[in-house]
Amino acid sequence: MQNKYLLLLKMQLYNFFGINRMLHSHNKKEKQRSAAIGILVIIVLGLMIAYSTLFSARLASMGDAGILPTISALICSLVTLVLTFLKSSGVLVGLRDYDMVMSLPVKSSDVVLSRITMVYLANLLVSMIVILPAVVIFGLNTDVGIVANLIFLLSILFMPVIPMIVSLGLGVLITAVSSRSKHKNIFSLVLSTLAVLLIVVASTKAQNMDSSEILNIGLVLSNIANRVYPPAAFISIAVLNQDWLYFFAFAGLSVLVGGIFVMIVAHFYQMMNTVTFSHAVTKYVGKPLKISSPVRAMYKREFDRYFSCTIYALNSTIGMVLLLVVSVMLLFISPEMLEQQSGFAGLSQMLRQMLPMVIAVFITMTSTTAASLSLEGKNRWLMCSAPVRTIDIFNSKIAVNLTVISPFAVTSILLLGVRMKVSPVQITLLCIVPAVYACFISVLGMYMNVRFPKYDWTSEYYAVKGGAVSVLATMGVGLLSSVIPFFICLIFTDFSTVIMAVTSCLLLTITATIYKSLRGIQLYM
Amino acid sequence: MGAILEITNFTKIYSQRKRAVDSLSLTVMPGEIHGFIGHNGAGKTTTIRAVVGVMDFDVGEILIDGHSVKQEPVICKALTAYIPDNPDLYDYVTGIQFLNYMADMFSVDRKCREERICRYADLFNITDSLGNLVSSYSHGMKQKLALIGAFLHQPKLLVLDEPFVGLDPEAAFRLKEIMRELCNQGNAIFFSTHVLDVAEKLCDKVSIIKQGKMVISGSMEDVRGSGSLEDVFMEVVENAK
């Protein structure tokens, strides 16, 4: 008889990347969509491997491949830490299938272990992307021997374990603490946004460094990592000294930490889920109710939806948050100083001219509408049976995207406009171009989601990310619509005003055409 | 007096081979509770979804209070309330926010909405929980909340798909009371059920559908004759084999 843990794991693997659905679906469209997503995933993985290889090669070319084991362990740990944290809330507790799984004749530890194994497999994939190129570069650039390479290679299996456990522990703790709060998603959203910003700022800083600085920070990081994260030092010593003892110490430590975590969570598993599923009961006291028109009521509900789903809000707002961060950062660096530092004469003038397009690029990364219809999921009977025109449903969703974009865009325009000392013509463009792009991306996202809805999700993640064609298509088309004119303006700087004006008119026409086609659509279940 | 619901020659074809519903016609008059009965997969839910305008169809016509579901969907939906067999509600709002949202959607004025929310929530014993998130509700509580949301605008036509599943005995009793009350005010109810005892006691008219085709439709007395509704239903099923 098959091990219960393996049976549980097998059932979860069926849903991994939708492989089972692709194998057994008789729907031709679904198969084509799965194939397209598969190709996209392969391309993204390829790019990540290329980036990782270049990074390792750059370190090696600076003559210190010896720090590669520590640095790659550190990067792998940080990536695992952040990625696991972002999705940790729904991995162990509060799962939809909890009742069904726990009613089966299986031990809690088998359930917990099968859940953690799934997270481990996903993190292992990331670790391989980060470390495999480092192993190859390390092997080619050092003469430490085959055993060192073998130890480095085997360490991949254990590298994600400890950071994964730390993140999962943190996630379980936050879920348990915030489960009684009505604002847990906002709390989670703020934390997640901070984490993403930290990564972006750190990577931007790294990109701006020259070779000696990178080597320097590499050594500093390596030293810090060795001190504050001893397992990184274990790997470093094991690889560089070809010391199996340190390798087994590292592997043993990882397995031990993982084992203890599984035992603790398994022991309290039922209790933790009971706490998560139970809610604070407050006695309702009647208050006067606020009356709204149907469209306004839908708009308000869309906003509730936006804040109710961390991954939805984070995914669709991060572009605007980044724009605001860039705008604030530029407050402290004058355009002239930027020109001086970069050594690029005329940079400040060019920036002034390109400002509307720069803002447009960030705006085209922001579309709540692209997933808004998919997120209706099983609730869509309410939307479909409501006595409102379909276009009003779309309008309420479009209005939410414009509301999300507006405060960030207006603040950034004001900050950048004042800082860059733009001319009246540039002020006009600075107002018109972002406004046109905001309308365009909102309507485009809505159209794409109407064309490619994904209602049959088991987790909101799959409606917002995990292969949501409408989101990918909106992002792709949106970015192309801003990046292409951006580069045309860059090449023909003297005509940038005309190019932006023409682009705006063109986009406005396209937006109107798409909106007109939305008016003719009737929504059905 | 015209029919509140008039289905004429309604046909739904999911694929070239399968006709989910085939040339179905029926009428529901004001003040009437009309039971819609059939085995699993007979086409009840398909018909109901077409009636409430959440599913498209090519053949036939469905009129609600004289308005075409195809041509005037918004008017028809404003006259109707619909509860599906498994009502998934917005988990991220509180019970009172959900009810207020439903009242906004059907443009119910403040006085009426407050009165009706208070009355129906008390009847279903969920007043104290209205301030809690819907995600904290049990299946039965969600069902009750969906029902209250449907009653708020006093619909001319109430369409219910298996409304008694998941309700406790007291709530089921209250629901039957409210259904009768709505009909006494001149509204109509069209609902599907597998609970034949309830249908027999509650319905004025009944229609039995089998493999997408109407088998019997008429007043409860005419359909059951001297036997019970269960006998009639079993006879229909036996004849099908």
A298 contacts in B (CB within 8 Å)? 105
Each residue's pLDDT tens digit, A307-332: 888 778 877 888 888 888 888 888 87
Question: Can you give the C-alpha Rg of chain A in angstroms?
Answer: 26
Nearest residue, CB atoms, B101 vs list A182, A288, A297: A297
Rounded to 5 degrees, φ, ψ at B59 are -110, 140
Q: Do B127 and A377 touch (CB under 8 A)?
A: no
Q: What angle do CA A195, A196, A202 make, to 5 degrees?
A: 90
**How many Å is the maximal CA-CA distance in chain A?**
78
Share of chain A above pLDDT 70, in %: 81
Q: What is the DSSP letter of B133?
A: B
What's the CA gap between B149 and B87, in Å, rounded? 11
pLDDT at res. A199: 59
Please give, rounded to a whole number of angstroms, the shortest distance from the CA of B184 to a CA of chain A. Answer: 24
Buried-state track A449-478, b at ≥16 Cβ within 10 A, e below 16 = bbebbbeebeebbbbbbbbbbbbbbbbebb
Q: Do B114 and A286 touch (CB under 8 A)?
A: yes
Token code pair at residue A58 = 């750059």
Each residue's pLDDT tens digit, A403-435: 999 999 999 999 988 888 888 888 899 999 999
Q: Are A388 and A427 in contact (CB under 8 A)?
A: no
Please give, rounded to a whole number of angstroms, the shortest distance from the CA of A240 to a CA of chain B. Answer: 53
pLDDT at res. A72: 81
Q: In whole angstroms, how far apart are CA B169 and each of B8, B122, B164, B198?
A: 36, 16, 9, 12
pLDDT at res. A178: 64
Which residues make Cβ contacts (< 8 Å) with residue B159, sequence separation at least 6? Answer: B48, B51, B52, B80, B81, B82, B83, B189, B190, B191
DSSP string, A169-236: HHHHHHHHHHTT-TTHHHHHHHHHHHHHHHHHHHHHHHHTS-HHHHHHHHHHHHHHHHHH-HHHHHHH
B53 contacts in A (CB within 8 Å)? 384-385
Nearest CA among A93, A308, A446 for reference residue B90: A308
Instruction: Report the range of poorest mean pLDDT among A207-211, A251-255, B152-156.
Output: A207-211
Half-sphere exposure of B173 (CA within 13 A, CB side): 5
Reduced to 3 states (helix: H, G, I; strand: E, B; else coil), residue B2 is: coil
pLDDT at res. A362: 93
A27 contacts in B (CB within 8 Å)? none
pLDDT tier, A224 (very low <50, low <70, confident <90, very high otherwise): low
Nearest CA among A154, A157, A139, A145 for reference residue A242: A145
pLDDT at res. A185: 64
For domain B5-86+154-240, the CATH class is alpha beta
B103 contacts in A (CB within 8 Å)? 289, 291
Q: Do A292 and B104 touch (CB under 8 A)?
A: yes
Q: In whole angstroms, how far apart are CA A45 and each of A52, A311, A333, B98?
A: 10, 21, 36, 43
Nearest residue, CB atoms, B131 vs list A284, A308, A379: A284
What's the CA gap between B35 and B40, in Å, rounded? 15
pLDDT at res. A510: 97
ipTM higher than the 0.90 cut: no
What's the CA gap between B182 and B74, in Å, rounded? 22
Q: What angle do CA B148, B150, B153 make, to 5 degrees?
A: 100
Each residue's pLDDT tens digit, A96-118: 677 777 777 778 888 889 888 98
Instruction: Answer with the residue of higher pLDDT: B167 or A78.
Output: B167
B55 contacts in A (CB within 8 Å)? 524-525
Query: End-to-end alpha-carbon separation of chain A, Å?
Result: 43
Instruction: Answer with the residue of higher pLDDT: A394 or A2.
Output: A394
